[in-house]
Structure 1
């Protein structure tokens, strides 16, 4: 029963959520260059903005899910992007509706994500460079948190390097903290801190080589400064978790001063 149901559901979604083709013009402004991909709540395209004559990203929300659910996600995503104005975060450009399809466009960050750099190009970063890059990401996260928002998905595929600078993208899982209880707020913030720790580990492992079989923890495998280890332990909740990004930044600066 489950197999046929999934097939019917997929067929319904493909019918209802038919994506636009190359050269289609949306909203008399956005010409489709290519189809980027599909997520749980929307399809994403690379477009040329005929008004500004530059490339941008267009997101088309799906119709195959309940309208109320889609409207909630759409409002949340556009509200969050609309309140964030930072040079390392893509800007919201426009939101509009066509034939009951909700759309929004945002700035294109034309660079490489860290996943490609680390795993396909085999990029390597020493400890100092890792911490300098990490510091950039903490600065962006600090700004987001100052706007009472958590990103919720700080992962290497969502960090773009452009002209040696880092950018944070994809706010689809972001949440506003304004209406959260204190406990929920602390939990959501700690998720961002944990993700930051995981991100730093990916960078540090870029230069790790060993013939020893897997099964050891990063604390056994990585040869890093004790202050870097302390930073990671707090980010990952092994030791007293951080309460705000100012504490994280203080520790990052300290360890950079020692290296």
Structure 2
């Protein structure tokens, strides 16, 4: 019986408490709803009662080793504190409540790109897809300039507000050293990390382009066979996806996407 009680207590300590509407965190964050759950935690839409302001609260999971969670918590909050861009949520503060690690950040009101594509079934034209990706690349250029790789630029991590994209969720982001202070090996690793962001953007662009193709898609065919695109768009997409010479700098990608946009009519 004692062993059972110890086991039960240990299970409770490792189980994540999920807060619900009406719960009060740290005496000032009133939970309105749960937003989602990821590998390292869950997020809530809350009201900061002191400021009467909507915000997002992320709660780190207890289900992993505490050392791993603390390292991830410190890593993610450090990155968010380091960033200051109008299209990236502003970091507010970190805090501990009921032995759980939390941090608060700006709430971006808008539609998740995944919902826009699959719930709303919105169709993006080729030009519209490129314009959106160009806007994303401008945000990514800033992130890279701050020595950070996002590492998870997927459609669920893009919010659209008045047709402008915002990038969220820096849970998998990585810091890299100043190129002038790194060895050739470190420089290669940095370029490989950069290419992950570019590949993710290429994959995201494919989602946008396919949104305009409805049910004409056939299984077993590559996008080069299925999609009818301007040659400049194809060239740009192939470089993002490492099919042709991959990008090593965001400015080159921005220049190429601008060329593709100019080639297409409104």
Q: Same fold (TM over 0.5)?
A: yes
Q: Once structures 1 and 2 are overlaid, which stretch shifts more, 57-66 or 127-136?
A: 57-66
Q: Once structures 1 and 2 are overlaid, which stretch shifts more, 188-197 or 29-38?
A: 29-38
Q: Is the 8 A contact 1:95 1:103 kept in 2?
A: yes
Aligned equivalents of 1:16 and 1:217: distance in 2?
43
Unaligned runs of 5+ in 2: 1-6
1:250 and 2:249 aligned: no
Unaligned runs of 5+ in 1: 1-7
The aligned residue for residue 188 of structure 1 is 193
The aligned residue for residue 19 of structure 2 is 20
Aligned equivalents of 1:161 and 1:220: distance in 2?
30
The aligned residue for residue 5 of structure 1 is none
1:79 and 2:78 aligned: yes
DSSP 3-state at the match of 1:58: strand
After superposition, give the CA deviation of every residue in 1:45-83 in whole Å (9 maximum; x if it has no partner).
111011111211111112332221111100110001111
Cα RMSD of the aligned pairs, angstroms, is 2.0
Aligned equivalents of 1:211 and 1:49: distance in 2?
48
The aligned residue for residue 209 of structure 2 is 204
Aligned equivalents of 1:132 and 1:13: distance in 2?
49
Identify if the C-alpha distance between structure 1 residues 81 and 13 changes in structure 2 by more than 3 Å, giving closer, same or farther.
farther
1:75-114 correspondence runs (5 A): 75-114=74-113
1:225-236 correspondence runs (5 A): 225-236=230-241
Aligned equivalents of 2:12 and 2:190: distance in 1?
35
After superposition, give the CA deviation of every residue in 1:162-209 in whole Å (9 maximum; x if it has no partner).
112111111111111128822221111110000010111111111114
Q: Once structures 1 and 2 are overlaid, which stretch shifts more, 141-150 or 53-62?
A: 53-62
Aligned equivalents of 1:182 and 1:210: distance in 2?
44
The aligned residue for residue 3 of structure 2 is none
The number of residues matched between the two structures is 251
Q: Is the 8 A contact 1:12 1:64 kept in 2?
A: no
Q: Once structures 1 and 2 are overlaid, which stretch shifts more, 92-101 or 104-113?
A: 92-101
The aligned residue for residue 122 of structure 1 is 121
Identify if the C-alpha distance between structure 1 residues 132 and 37 changes in structure 2 by more than 3 Å, giving closer, same or farther.
closer
The aligned residue for residue 43 of structure 1 is 42
The aligned residue for residue 151 of structure 2 is 152
Q: Is the 8 A contact 1:151 1:173 kept in 2?
A: yes
Q: Is the 8 A contact 1:13 1:64 kept in 2?
A: no
The aligned residue for residue 133 of structure 1 is 132
1:52 and 2:51 aligned: yes
How far does residue 217 in structure 1 lie from its aligned partner after superposition?
A: 0.8
Aligned equivalents of 1:175 and 1:211: distance in 2?
39
The aligned residue for residue 4 of structure 2 is none
DSSP 3-state at the match of 1:123: coil
The aligned residue for residue 3 of structure 1 is none
DSSP 3-state at the match of 1:170: coil
How far does residue 29 in structure 1 lie from its aligned partner after superposition?
A: 1.2
